[in-house]
Amino acid sequence: MKKMYLGLSFLGIILPFAIVIPWIQNYGLNIDLFVSEWFANRISQFFDVDFLITWLVWQLFIL
């Protein structure tokens, strides 16, 4: 069970960076563009809101 969580933790680190690093290479650290693309359409808004709620619950759990 510990190995499974360790593997999932690595995936949770590697996969998001595999997506965002090419974007940063193309556009640099343009925060305005990043935020505008973050909420560009309904499906991305769905995942953004889901992530923000999950992050908030996680923060409250830690406190």
Q: What are the pLDDT digits (tens) for 10-29? A: 998 999 899 899 999 999 99
Task: Give the distance from CA 45 to its chain's centroid.
Answer: 12
CA distance 62 to 56: 10
Predicted local distance difference test score (pLDDT) of residue 12: 87
Predicted local distance difference test score (pLDDT) of residue 30: 92
pTM: 0.63
3-state secondary structure of 41: coil
Query: Is-contact 38 44, C-beta < 8 A?
Result: yes
Predicted local distance difference test score (pLDDT) of residue 7: 92
Predicted local distance difference test score (pLDDT) of residue 14: 94
